[in-house]
Structure 1
């Protein structure tokens, strides 16, 4: 069955977030090559984990585009993790509400899109209609 419009929008949003994670990985690589890190092994490990995270988000985006429920589930987990990072940026010595909002708003949008995609997929599976 073809996916609905809201599922494709949610997949596109996840793909944009994956690009953002890849940009973060590129930034980490530049910092590593400039010698801005105190621990090269830790920086390499963080870089590898960031790239793995980007690959996972890309996988979730592809799965949502194809109508897979596991992609929506993984995408929701990603949004909740991003929201936890936003909450963390509100606490501590360098707390910054603007940074927290900058991080949280895209995650909330993604969460809303993924929930709408799940509802749309459920309605599509009940009716067999691709444009619910």
Structure 2
């Protein structure tokens, strides 16, 4: 038996992160249309990669909600990357605490929920195989 609450919570965090990344891409797109880009091809590539990342987060959210292991694995990888980015940003002076907390806190919560969901599902599947 799966843990639908943990999976739903983890999927919600992934979906919110995907929405936030989509907003970042839109802000960059508006900045591009305002002529703020130093290099047009680089700006377009950054926007495209950001939208691909957002799409991946949305796909991982749907997969996590459905109990797919590939989605949890991908979600965990992206949470670890977000945590690494937040921790690396601590070296920038002055420290941008809004960025550190805005990226790091959801990543940490998402990581914990994804791991808890995977552990819960693993324990439930072990219990079912013992009962068979």
Q: TM-score, normalised by structure 1?
A: 0.88
Q: CA deviation at 1:92?
A: 3.0
Q: CA deviation at 1:84?
A: 1.4
Specify whether residues 28 and 98 from structure 1 end up closer, same or farther in structure 2 by C-alpha distance, changes over 3 A only.
closer
- State whether residues 87 and 100 of structure 1, in contact with CA within 8 Å, keep that contact through their aligned partners in structure 2: yes
Q: Deviations over 1:46-66 (max 9, x none)?
A: 000001111111111111011
- State whether residues 63 and 71 of structure 1, in contact with CA within 8 Å, keep that contact through their aligned partners in structure 2: yes
- State whether residues 22 and 54 of structure 2, in contact with CA within 8 Å, keep that contact through their aligned partners in structure 1: yes
- State whether residues 2 and 121 of structure 2, in contact with CA within 8 Å, keep that contact through their aligned partners in structure 1: no
Residue aligned with 2:95, SS: coil
Whole-angstrom CA distance in 1 between matches of 2:36 and 2:88: 24
Give the 5 Å matches for 1:1-132: 4-128=4-128
Structure 2, unmatched stretches of 5+, are none
More helix by share: 2
Coordinate RMSD, CA, aligned: 1.6
Q: TM-score, normalised by structure 2?
A: 0.88
Specify whether residues 2 and 95 from structure 1 end up closer, same or farther in structure 2 by C-alpha distance, changes over 3 A only.
closer
Number of aligned residue pairs: give it: 128
